[in-house]
Amino acid sequence: MIAWYAETKKSQPLCLAPQTQLELRARVTRLRQLTELRTTQLNQQRLVTNRAVQAGFRKMLAFVAKQIQELEKSIAALIDADPLWRELDQAFRTIKGVADRTVARIMAEMPRSARCPTRPFPNWPVWPRWPKTPANTRANALSAEARRSTRNPVHRGQRCGPS
C-alpha cells in the first residue's frame, strides 16, 4: 500500500532540516517555555503576601531570568553563524515590530524545503500584483466621491434632526 501511494503521489524527497536548525528550534521552544513559566510565576507572586514565599518567588524568577538571558545569547549566536539566517535576520528587522524572538521563531520554524540550496523558498506563494486598469482607477475615484458626498453632517459640527 505504501509503495502504491509513493508511486501514485510521485512526491519529491525533501531536504532534511540541518542540525543547526534543529538546535535553534529546541532553544526557541525552551525560551518560549521559560517565558511562560516567568509569566505564571509573576502572576502567582502577586497573590502571595507571606515574606518567605515571596523570597522563594524572587529566587525562582532570578533563575528563570538568567536562563532566558543565556538562551537569547545562544540563539543570537546561532543566527549570526549562518549566512542565510544572518541575511534574513537583517531583512526581517526592517519590518516594524519584528525583533529578536520573532526572527528566531521564524528561523526555527522555517520549512525544510526553504533550506535547500537548489530552490530557495519554493513553498512561499508569489502573490500577483493587482493590475491598475482604467476601470479600477475609475471605480476607486467614484467610490471616493461617493464617500465625500455621503458624510454624516454631525462630523462637520452640524446638528441633526429638529432644531
pLDDT class for 2, splitting at 50, 70, 90? confident
For range 125-139, the mean pLDDT: 50
Tell me the CA distances in angstroms from 8 to 4, 14, 140, one per residue in order: 6, 17, 48
Mapped onto helix, strand or coil, the DSSP state of residue 139 is helix
For range 9-36, the mean pLDDT: 85
Query: According to the model, what pLDDT value does residue 113 have?
Result: 46
- Cβ contacts of residue 72 below 8 Å, gap of 6+? 31, 100
More confident residue, 92 or 161: 92
- Cβ contacts of residue 57 below 8 Å, gap of 6+? 41, 44, 45, 48
Cell of 76: 543570537
Query: According to the model, what pLDDT value does residue 133 have?
Result: 52
Mapped onto helix, strand or coil, the DSSP state of residue 130 is coil
Query: According to the model, what pLDDT value does residue 47 have?
Result: 94
Query: According to the model, what pLDDT value does residue 144 have?
Result: 52
Structural contact between residues 75 and 100, judged by C-beta atoms closer than 8 angstroms: yes
Query: According to the model, what pLDDT value does residue 146 have?
Result: 54
Residue-wise pLDDT tens digits, 72-124: 999 999 999 988 888 888 888 888 888 888 888 888 887 654 545 444 444 55
Q: Which of 127, 107, 100, 112 is nearest to 18 (CA)?
A: 112
Phi, psi of 161 (to 5 degrees): 80, -170
Query: According to the model, what pLDDT value does residue 25 have?
Result: 92
Query: According to the model, what pLDDT value does residue 107 have?
Result: 85
Residue type, 141: A
Residue-wise pLDDT tens digits, 37-81: 999 999 999 999 999 999 999 999 999 999 999 999 999 999 999
Q: Find how far residue 159's CA is from the centre of its chain.
A: 47
Query: According to the model, what pLDDT value does residue 16 have?
Result: 67
- Percent of the chain with pLDDT strictly greater than 90: 36
Structural domain boundaries in the chain = 14-115
Q: pTM of the full predicted structure?
A: 0.60
Residue type, 132: K
